[in-house]
Structure 1
């Protein structure tokens, strides 16, 4: 790709959560719910000397994308690393539950999740865990009716319990700059040492958990350039396609069998990960992932 092409991109990763949401949805269709003027902030952060944010770091809205009704939720990665607590988690779970109710009432409504998050907010640990469990349940409920589409486009990536949430979604899009995982690099290094995972080795980190690698190993459905038009076109395709034949999280036996083949004694690298998990090996269990 030429330098001119890069300069002409309409980057989403450089936008805040609210701006990303407004760019992706159809113009004039966005109706934000529980906006900052509602002053719905975390009651726990001030008690710990942390300045709260009046939307608790999550933008929640209803709108349309390519004419399809959607609930859209964007996590602000710049606020406490996109971490989720009681209020922000409840906003996401509640909106997903509203969408499921709308579908049961005969009003088809999909969901769009813009995930830039490290997972549970440590300052609200148990409350955050409970909220993320509610999000997981709400995704599984809603995805029976209409697609739940997750995007992670920026350098914060998607980790922790929200990494599980991304895996439960109908479709997952990552950019090359994004990352996806359960534990972040610093956590792995802290628990297992630099010999296991050096959090300062950025090429290693992106080679294992970056968007290209996650797509190559079947853990993401698309890897796009960080450009509004390319990302929006992919989301439109998924909305028109509807539900996948089978969700990734339903292929439990497939992934258990592949993980059983891993040699945990050998240092992980991108090649071994692709060999272990890539869907291109031709021996997918249960007929492969559709």
Structure 2
């Protein structure tokens, strides 16, 4: 195949994709659930807005940037919690956090009542909403507790596609999920590049060096470092198929978060005096936290 033919084929394949990244939160949730099965809970017409943003002259959103959708995925009862990255950077405040935590708690209650409800969380978030400070932190803690509760019964699968990424306390929530799916465009980290540069200096992390950022915190790197279970292309059908596959696997033998001691032992091998390369990180975490 000539270079021209290969380029034309690659372009054709790209245009044929149904980009998941280009969808908004509500569209993402609807696309993942079985056709005509989606029912939105605590939606925009319920006007569940943040009381704190308005006090600071910040325009609110009627669903506080979180979509709670109930339906079926591959025929199984599923709740999809989609964070809208375009609203306040997908940050978590009191209302949006309560919607996610409450939905996960109800899904756990369903399981205790004999209804095997599973969950998908679509992470496009910078973490806690600074304008709501401790209220946002408390909401994220409730989300984390609810994930741990529900994952005893049915898988909780996290997805981060892009373009916001998954940072802060919500990156911890992502790490608590039964399985984690990323795209190559996604980024996952506790602190964002600008925060690291601000606190440790540009020599530690240059927030304008995009190749460096993706080489260390991008979806492919996180997958190769055993911190995510799948890295898929930005295609709605591919993400939905991967979700169905992982749900059919049922619960993992051991949650990734339960292997923290082995991961910490791996982390001790990092030479903090020099900036680690992507290959070094992959080599250190190659065992995936298994001693």
- Calculate the TM-score normalised by the size of structure 2: 0.96
1:160 corresponds, among 151, 155, 168, to 168
Distance in 1 (alpha carbons) for counterparts of 2:37 and 2:105: 20
Shift of 1:175: 0.2
- Other-structure match for 2:4: none
Partner SS for 1:130: helix
Distance in 2 (alpha carbons) for counterparts of 1:264 and 1:164: 22
Partner SS for 1:159: coil
Matched length: 283
1:85–1:127: 8 Å Cα contact kept in structure 2? yes
Map residues 183-202 of structure 1 onto 2, 5 A cutoff: 183-202=191-210
- Other-structure match for 1:255: 263
Distance in 2 (alpha carbons) for counterparts of 1:51 and 1:284: 47
- Other-structure match for 2:137: 129
Partner SS for 1:44: helix
Distance in 1 (alpha carbons) for counterparts of 2:28 and 2:179: 18
1:58–1:74: 8 Å Cα contact kept in structure 2? yes
Distance in 1 (alpha carbons) for counterparts of 2:184 and 2:116: 32
1:62 corresponds, among 56, 59, 70, to 70
Shift of 1:81: 0.4
For residues 58-90 of structure 1, give each alpha carbon's deviation from its aligned partner in whole angstroms, at most 9, with x where no partner exists.
Answer: 000111001010111000000010000000000
- Other-structure match for 1:79: 87
- Calculate the TM-score normalised by the size of structure 1: 0.96
1:18–1:59: 8 Å Cα contact kept in structure 2? yes
Distance in 1 (alpha carbons) for counterparts of 2:64 and 2:155: 26
- Other-structure match for 1:288: none
Q: Which structure 2 segments of 5+ residues have no match?
A: 1-8
Q: What is the CA RMSD across the aligned residues, in angstroms?
A: 1.1
Distance in 2 (alpha carbons) for counterparts of 1:7 and 1:179: 23
Shift of 1:279: 2.4
Stretches (4+) displaced over 2 A = none
Distance in 2 (alpha carbons) for counterparts of 1:78 and 1:278: 34
Distance in 2 (alpha carbons) for counterparts of 1:238 and 1:264: 35
Q: Which structure 1 segments of 5+ residues have no match?
A: 286-290
Shift of 1:49: 1.1
Map residues 1-290 of structure 1 onto 2, 5 A cutoff: 2-279=10-287, 284-285=290-291
